[in-house]
């Protein structure tokens, strides 16, 4: 997961960067002091997620989110709200609104939900009466036929077995696997099966060699 930060508050910005760097499957591809600068950076670095917080200029924040949608339409936009001020988020079109009271595990669960296809339909850590924000259709980490290939691998099939089950060539299976390995940043079938099972994407089948 490639994450870009656009956080005006220096302490929050550095704290989020340190938290994200603890997770091996997350890469911080940019750290910006404002949502507007993050929006300009998004076109160059193509992040999966942008985490923003409000600046002192609400209109510019809204423009930054709109610019992000245009520059990186598949990117998910996460807004870190100030405690007690989440209702202000109604004017900003984001995929997930989260309070800074959420712990590292809750943050990561929500981010993976956005990227893995589950969505974060509720503002995590919001106070009673806090608004719910429906998530946009997330960018899946594995899609379409790749998901079928991943499930077959988790069932213990070899490349030849996967090809036979799906009615495709072994070369096509290898191409799908290469794409999955590249985006999940794992190496080897065993690690891939463990990665899938941790996210509920596979079954507990045995692992075969390619």
Predicted confidence (pLDDT) per residue in 147-175, tens digit: 888 888 888 899 999 999 999 999 999 98
C-alpha distances in Å from residue 117, one per residue of 29, 43, 184: 22, 23, 14
Whole-number pLDDT of residue 123: 41
**pLDDT tens, residue by residue, 138-150:** 345 666 788 888 8
User: CA angle at residue 139 from 137 to 142, to 5 degrees?
Assistant: 125
Determine the pLDDT at residue 37: 93
* Average pLDDT score, the chain: 78
Question: Among 31-40, 59-68, 187-196, which is the least confidently predicted range?
Answer: 187-196
Tokens, residue 46: 């193509």
Measured between alpha carbons, how far is 112 from 72 in angstroms, rounded to an integer? 18
Residue 189 has pLDDT above 90, yes or no: no
Tell me which of 18 and 101 has the higher pLDDT: 18
Q: Give, for 143, the enclosing helix (H) or strand (E).
A: none
Alpha helices, H only, 98-158: 104-116, 144-154
Q: Is the pLDDT of residue 134 over 50?
A: no
Which domains, from first to last, does the chain contain?
2-116 (3.40.50.2300), 144-198 (1.10.10.10)
Backbone φ and ψ for 156, nearest 5 degrees, come out as 90, 10
pLDDT bracket for residue 133 (50, 70, 90): very low
- Give the pLDDT band (50/70/90) at residue 100: low
- Taking 90 as the threshold, does the pLDDT of residue 30 lie above it? yes
CA distance to 81, 89, 133, 183, per residue, from 130 (Å): 11, 10, 10, 34
Q: Is the predicted pLDDT of residue 202 greater than 70, yes or no?
A: no
Position 143 scores a pLDDT of 67
- How many CB atoms are located within 10 Å of the residue 126 CB? 21
């Amino acid at each position: 997961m490639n994450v870009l930060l656009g956080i005006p508050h220096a302490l929050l910005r550095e704290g989020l960067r340190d938290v994200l760097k603890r997770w091996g499957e997350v890469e911080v591809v940019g750290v910006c002091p404002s949502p507007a600068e993050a929006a300009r950076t998004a076109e160059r670095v193509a992040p999966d997620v942008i985490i923003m917080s409000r600046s002192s200029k609400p209109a510019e924040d809204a423009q930054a989110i709109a610019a992000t949608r245009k520059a990186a339409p598949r990117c998910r936009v996460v807004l870190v709200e100030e405690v007690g001020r989440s209702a202000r988020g109604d004017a900003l079109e984001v995929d997930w609104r989260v309070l800074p009271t959420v712990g590292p595990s809750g943050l990561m669960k929500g981010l993976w939900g956005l990227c893995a296809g589950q969505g974060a339909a509720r503002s995590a850590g919001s106070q009673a009466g806090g608004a719910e924000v429906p998530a946009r259709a997330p960018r899946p980490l594995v899609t379409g036929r790749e998901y079928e290939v991943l499930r077959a691998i988790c069932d213990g099939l070899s490349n030849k077995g996967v090809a036979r089950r799906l009615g495709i060539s072994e070369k096509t299976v290898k191409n799908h696997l290469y794409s999955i390995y590249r985006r999940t940043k794992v190496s080897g079938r065993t690690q891939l099966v463990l990665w899938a099972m941790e996210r509920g994407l596979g079954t507990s089948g045995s692992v075969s060699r390619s």
